[in-house]
Amino acid sequence: MAHNFILIGPMGAGKSTIGRLLAKELRLPFRDSDKEIERRTGASIPLIFDVEGEQGFREREHHAIADLCQLVGVVLATGGGAVLRPENRRVLQMGGRIIYLCTSVDQQLDRTSRDRNRPLLQTANPRKVLTDLMAIRDPLYREIADVVVETDERPPRLVVGEILERLRSLPPRESRDETALS
């Protein structure tokens, strides 16, 4: 049963910023799966990667997403790699309407260049990392998305307006999520 609005997409697509604005517009609470992981562990994402590796982080991410998708009436921003596990994709699809915030590698580089909290980008060639990640993840984002919205060079409020418009035009699902759009 869908009852949430879930933002997926690569790092730097604007999931947290747009998610907060969307939540405000819909008068719903905003949740962020990465922030939930940090809250539960008391550790930053980079520290979790350092200590447990990506596999340890992905396990924590799976549990956080499964729990967050049980909530009713939230806007949820997920981490860029949340779609890698098939079980996460299933949970997300059952958890609500999925909005894929699509962005270019150039925009990702621009938005993440000074951010030290991106463990996967702490490398000599972040462009190659982002390009490789996009090749793997873009088909997975598209596979589960109800709506795909481009965010490149667009103000967040304009993106939120498009999301709301696109969500209103979707056929109803056996859910409560459309009531928030009325």
Beta strand spans in 78-162 (E): 96-102, 147-150
Is the pLDDT at 176 greater than 90? The verdict is no
Is the pLDDT at 1 greater than 80? The verdict is no
Q: What is the pLDDT of residue 124?
A: 73
Is the pLDDT at 154 greater than 90? The verdict is yes
Each residue's pLDDT tens digit, 94-113: 999 999 999 999 998 887 76
pTM of the model: 0.89
Each residue's pLDDT tens digit, 72-97: 999 999 999 999 999 999 999 999 99
If we measure between CA atoms, which residue out of 48, 146, 156, 167 comes closest to residue 111?
A: 156
Read off the DSSP letter of residue 28: -
